[in-house]
Amino acid sequence: MAAFFSELETVRFEGRDSDKALAYRWYNAEQMVLGKPLSEHLRFAVAYWHSLAMNGSDPFGAPTIVRPWMTRADAMEGAREKADAAFELFRVLGLPFYTFHDRDIAPEGADLKESLKNFEAMVEYLAKKMEGSKAKLLWGTANLFSHPRFMSGAATNPDPDVFAYSATTVKHCMDATKQLGGSNYVLWGGREGYETLLNTDMGHELDQMGRFLTLVVEYKHKIGFEGQILIEPKPKEPTAHQYDFDAATVYGFLKKYGLENEVKLNLEANHALLAGHSFEHEIATAAMLGVLGSLDVNRGDPLLGWDTDQFPNDLQAMTLALYQVILGGGLGKGGMNFDAKIRRQSIDAEDLVHAHVGAVDLCARAFLNAAALVEKGELKAAVAERYAGWNTPEAKAMLEGKLSLEQISETTLAKGVNPKPRSGKQEKLENLLNRRLF
Ligand code: XUL
Ligand code: CO
């Protein structure tokens, strides 16, 4: 049977003046920027769950996006058909990577053994598909949140059998990620959190989570997986209190369990917003702490307080985010995964292509803007100027711990230090940013 997206042409770079709807205007994969091709900076990935498995159902309505592979009586036949469609979609979009959960690619079996058998068969199938495709795996992950067994958490479940079940699942998913040449393995704490302290021992649950992650790191070294282990922070939804709240909280957790040099972060734009931060704040925080790993790019709806996972379309917000990525040293083995889904009414195959093309171009354009801001150096100079006072020997001595509180007090009083307020020049810099955007 012909794969679902076969009719669609491969989307190509045509430049800014193209009249074609399905063309890249900004994403010229080979364009050299800051010393390497754009594609190597951005490392775009298509998310299997949103693009192949999402059916448009919501709490009020039935599926609207019904693909042929979703209705097959034989679930494994459906999974293979879905994989054929996935690789057609990757061909159409011409993007270098994809990402998946175990459950996206293979159906749940009657028990854990059968689920793993289905999964391993589908991993073999994907391995074959990858031989005939340019698409590589950015990261793999396990869905430890959909099935009712995970309703009280996976690693943090009060029931040790769920911990063991989850550990077994992650072991096999890490094996698969390594087998498929994945660059990262992601853990999003789907239901690692709680609803009420009336039934929760938070300290015990965090110790469980620390142990679980330690096991993952040990196993990574044991099998020689060269990818990064990444935690994806999110403050709420599905649980009221998710343990991996934001970048700073996860860093505190990693420090407590001695894993800060082993694990980095996969930061998601709308998760940042749900935590009351901007995306660039989360990126800058992770970079400052040495744990910037990868990005899930999407957007929320400012009028809604939940995770709408829309495709990104705000140039200024994305430019500011990617500016921090460049300042932070880039994404390395990470990339930019479109953790985004088409709307419930966008039911045509082509809608999925429009969604990705717009988002790819938006991100490419934002990156070019961010790179130009870095090259011009005006913002960096303004920041350096603001902190220039710290370059004096007296100021350095304070910061380097060479002066006690009494010594600082003595010299301050002796010199008659009398600080004068100085403008932060925010509006000037905002205007500069707006003038520079193209
Ligand atoms: C949920 C979310 C997940 C993770 C992978 O909000 O972002 O899709 O990215 O489990
Ligand atoms: Co995500």
Instruction: Write out pLDDT tens, residues 348-361.
Output: 999 999 999 999 99
Q: Name the closest ligand to CA 239.
A: 1
| Separation of CA 383 and ligand 2 centre (Å) | 32
pLDDT of residue 235: 98
pLDDT surpassing 70 at residue 86: yes
At residue 20 the predicted structure's pLDDT band, cuts being 50, 70 and 90, is very high
Q: Give residue-wise pLDDT tens across range 412-429.
A: 999 999 999 999 999 999
Which DSSP symbol is given to 53?
Answer: I
Q: Is 88 in the pocket of ligand 1 (CB under 6 A)?
A: no
Cβ neighbors of 306 (< 8 A, separation 6 or more) are 237, 274, 300
pLDDT surpassing 70 at residue 171: yes
CA distances for 93 relative to 24, 46, 136, 312, 350, angstroms: 10, 9, 13, 16, 11
Candidates 50, 101, 281, 356; catalytic one: 101
CATH among 3.40.50.11540, 3.20.20.150, 3.90.76.10, 3.40.50.1950 for 3-376: 3.20.20.150
Maximal C-alpha separation, the chain: 86
Structural domain boundaries in the chain: 3-376, 381-436
The residue contributing the CA closest to ligand 1 atom 10 is 188
Q: Is 246 in the pocket of ligand 1 (CB under 6 A)?
A: no
pLDDT of residue 115: 98
Q: Is 69 in the pocket of ligand 1 (CB under 6 A)?
A: no
Average pLDDT rounded to a whole number, residues 101-108: 98
Q: Give the C-alpha separation, 153 to 75, whole Å.
A: 26
Residues with CB under 5 A from ligand 2 (ion): 268, 296, 339
- The total of other beta-carbon atoms located within 10 Å of residue 67's CB is 18
pLDDT surpassing 90 at residue 21: yes
Of 296, 308, 311, 336, which is best to mutate to test ligand 1, by the most ligand atoms within 8 angstroms of its C-beta? 296
Q: Give the C-alpha separation, 135 to 226, whole Å.
A: 19
Q: Give the C-alpha separation, 109 to 372, whole Å.
A: 51
pLDDT of residue 305: 85
Q: Give residue-wise pLDDT tens across range 114-128.
A: 999 999 999 999 999
Active site annotation includes 204? no
**Whole-model pTM over 0.95:** yes
Q: Give residue-wise pLDDT tens across range 199-219.
A: 999 999 999 999 999 999 999
Q: Give residue-wise pLDDT tens across range 209-256.
A: 999 999 999 999 999 999 999 999 999 999 999 999 999 999 999 999
Of 101, 145, 188, which is best to mutate to test ligand 1, by the most ligand atoms within 8 angstroms of its C-beta? 188
pLDDT surpassing 70 at residue 2: no
* Cα distance between the two ends of the chain: 45
| Separation of CA 16 and ligand 2 centre (Å) | 30
At residue 3 the predicted structure's pLDDT band, cuts being 50, 70 and 90, is confident
Q: Give residue-wise pLDDT tens across range 332-348.
A: 999 999 999 999 999 99
Which two three-digit tokens encode residue 355? 């969604």
* Contact predicate 196/150, CB 8 Å: no
Q: Give residue-wise pLDDT tens across range 388-414.
A: 999 999 999 999 999 999 999 999 999
At residue 1 the predicted structure's pLDDT band, cuts being 50, 70 and 90, is low
Pairing of strands 136-141, 184-188: parallel
Q: Which atom of ligand 1 is least distant from the CA of 307?
A: 6
**Residue environment code for 310-330, b if the CB has 16+ CB neighbours within 10 A, otherwise e:** bbbeeeebbbbbbbbbbbbeb
Q: Give residue-wise pLDDT tens across range 34-67.
A: 999 999 999 999 999 999 999 999 999 999 999 9
pLDDT of residue 160: 99
Per-residue H/E/C for 267-318: EEHHHHHHCCCCHHHHHHHHHHCCCEEEEEECECCCCCCCCCCECCCCHHHH
pLDDT surpassing 90 at residue 302: no
